[in-house]
Amino acid sequence: MAIIITAFERSPDGGKGLARDTRVRWALEEVGQPYEVRLVSFRAMKEPAHLGIHPFGQIPTYEEGDLALFETGAIVLHIAERHVGLLPDDANARARAITWMFAALNTVEPPILELVTAKFLEGDKPWSKKRLPLVQDRIRNRLGQLSARLGDADWLDGAFSAGDLMMVSVLLRLRSSGILDEFPKLAGYVARGEARPAYKRAFAAQLAINAGMS
Ligand code: GTB
């Protein structure tokens, strides 16, 4: 059954791979599943046809026959559970890999998104300059804890898993801030993720659509 995902018709990042379809593309590339992409405009995202698949009017979505999913956590987990390559066979190791997916989305990503909000949506507010260092320090706190757990390992828990895919995807959003480079072990971790052939294919596919559009 064909897999169809949605992505921005024009990603505001101009192809830096920061829009969340990249993590879904990456997961599909890791498990060797071909997929098609339906590009949607900002306007189309808020129209009934798309809202029927994504109640919040966002990308990405995932369709496979009768199944329609939204939320990258759910989509990547679905892909990882149905195909070999992103979750270990051992039940406990599998549960730990899924735990890292949740940690990426629920514990590490929120302060990073706060920074995006503070810089780009609230940058012109009179209190913005005072708030920014607080937000940045919250991120540093999380990254310090994550870096301590990673230590000198290549991946968070044994072999590369969906947990690493999600964590690297979340950390990539920080690159332009310079904060990631304050944590060399995490910078190396992200670089290892980006060096994976599946990530490179996913990145190239989104770039082919968005290059020169920003
Ligand atoms: N929790 C949802 C998930 O994980 O699937 C969040 C989905 C989401 O935020 N989608 C964004 C969207 O559709 C695109 S990825 N936004 C349009 C809208 O809400 O109207 C977020 C994103 C957007 C742009 C950049 N960028 O330009 O760098 C990076 C990431």
Q: What is the whole-number distance in angstroms between the Cα of residue 8 and the centre of ligand 1? A: 9
Report which of 184, 135, 192, 139 is spatially closest to residue 164, judged by C-alpha positions: 192
pLDDT tier for residue 1 given thresholds of 50, 70 and 90: confident
Q: What is the mean pLDDT of residues 36-43?
A: 98
C-beta of 210 in contact with ligand 1 (< 6 A): no
123 band by pLDDT with thresholds 50, 70 and 90? confident
Please identify, by atom number, the ligand 1 atom nearest to the C-alpha of residue 56.
19
Which strands sit side by side in the sheet containing 61-64, from one edge to the other?
36-40, 3-8, 61-64, 67-70
- Every domain of the chain and the residues it spans: 3-85+198-213, 91-196
Peptide bond between residue 110 and the one before it cis (omega within 30 degrees of 0): no
What spacing in Å lies between the alpha carbon of 60 and ligand 1's midpoint? 8
Q: Write out the CATH class of domain 91-196.
A: mainly alpha
| Residue 139, burial from CB neighbour count under 10 angstroms (0-12, 13-18, 19+) | buried
Decide if pLDDT at 114 tops 60: yes
**Is the CB of 12 within 6 Å of ligand 1?**
yes
Question: Residue whose CA is closest, atom 30 of ligand 1?
Answer: 19
pLDDT number for residue 129: 85
- Please, which pLDDT band fits residue 185 given cuts at 50, 70 and 90? very high
Mean pLDDT over each residue of the chain, to the nearest integer: 96
Asked if pLDDT for residue 211 goes beyond 90, the answer is no
Could you tell me the maximum CA-CA distance found in the chain, to the nearest angstrom? 53
Mean per-residue pLDDT for 39-52?
A: 98
Task: Please work out whether the CB of residue 206 comes within 6 Å of at least one atom of ligand 1.
Answer: no
Ligand 1 binding pocket includes 13 (Cβ within 6 Å): yes
The answer, yes or no, to whether residue 76 has pLDDT greater than 90, is yes
As a whole number of angstroms, the distance between CA 59 and CA 23 comes to 12
Please tell me the predicted confidence (pLDDT) of residue 120.
87
3-85+198-213 homologous superfamily: Glutaredoxin (3.40.30.10)
Q: Which of ligand 1's atoms lies nearest the C-alpha of 75?
A: 5
Q: Which tens digits make up the pLDDT trace of 156-173?
A: 999 999 999 999 999 999
User: Closest Cα to atom 25, ligand 1: which residue?
Assistant: 19
Atom of ligand 1 nearest to the CA of 60: 5
Name the band, by pLDDT with cuts 50, 70 and 90, for residue 11.
very high
Q: Is the pLDDT reported for residue 176 higher than 70? A: yes
Band (32; pLDDT cuts 50, 70, 90): very high
Would the pLDDT of 9 be above 80? yes
- 59, 102, 108, 170: residue to mutate for ligand 1 pocket, most atoms within 8 A of CB: 59
Q: What is the pLDDT of residue 213?
A: 57
Torsion-angle region of residue 122: left (phi > 0), alpha (psi -120 to 50) or beta? alpha
The closest alpha carbon to 24, from 10, 6, 51, belongs to 6
Q: Please tell me the pTM assigned to this model.
A: 0.97
* CA 18–ligand 1 middle distance (angstroms): 9
